[in-house]
Amino acid sequence: TRRVRTRDLIAAKERGERWPMLTSYDQYTAAIFDQAGVPVLLVGDSAANNVFGYETTLPVTADELLPLVRAVVRATRQALIVGDLPFGSYEEGPTQALRTAVRFMKEGGCHAVKLEGGRRCAAQIAAIVGAGIPVMAHIGFTPQSEHTLGGYRVQGRGDAADEVLADARAVAEAGAFAVVLEMVPGEVAKQVTHELPIPTVGIGAGPATDAQVLVWQDMAGLRTGKAPRFVKRYADVAGALTDATRRFADEVRGGEFPAAEHTF
Is 256 labelled a binding residue?
no
- Tell me which stretch binds ligand KIV (CB under 6 A): 38-46, 98-106, 118-126, 127-135: 38-46
Catalytic site includes residue 182: yes
Rg of the chain's alpha carbons, rounded to an integer? 20
117 belongs to the binding site for ligand KIV (CB under 6 A): no
Three-state SS at 121: helix
Tell me the sheet residues that pair with 181.
139, 202
Closest CB to Na ion among residues 19, 25 = 25
> How many angstroms separate the CA atoms of 73 and 67, rounded?
10
> Which of 146, 173, 182, 251 is flagged as catalytic?
182
Binding site partner of 49, from ligand KIV, Na ion, none, Cβ cut-off 5-8 A by kind: none
Return the residues of window 203-222 that contact ligand KIV according to CB under 6 A.
203, 213, 215
User: Which residue in 13, 22, 45, 98 binds Na ion (CB under 5 A)?
Assistant: 45
Contact criterion met (CB below 8 Å) for 127 and 92: no
Alpha-carbon span 20 to 25, nearest angstrom:
17
Could you give phi then psi for residue 32, rounded to 5 degrees? -65, -50
**Residue among 34 and 45 whose Cβ is closer to Na ion:** 45
> Which DSSP string corresponds to 51-84?
TS--SSSTT--HHHHHHHHHHHHHT-SSSEEEEE
The verdict on 45 binding ligand KIV (CB under 6 A) reads yes
Least distance in angstroms from the C-beta of 241 to ligand KIV: 21
Task: Give the total of residues touching ligand KIV (CB under 6 A).
Answer: 11
Binding residues: 45-46, 84, 114, 116
Binding residues for 3-methyl-2-oxobutanoate: 45-46, 84, 114
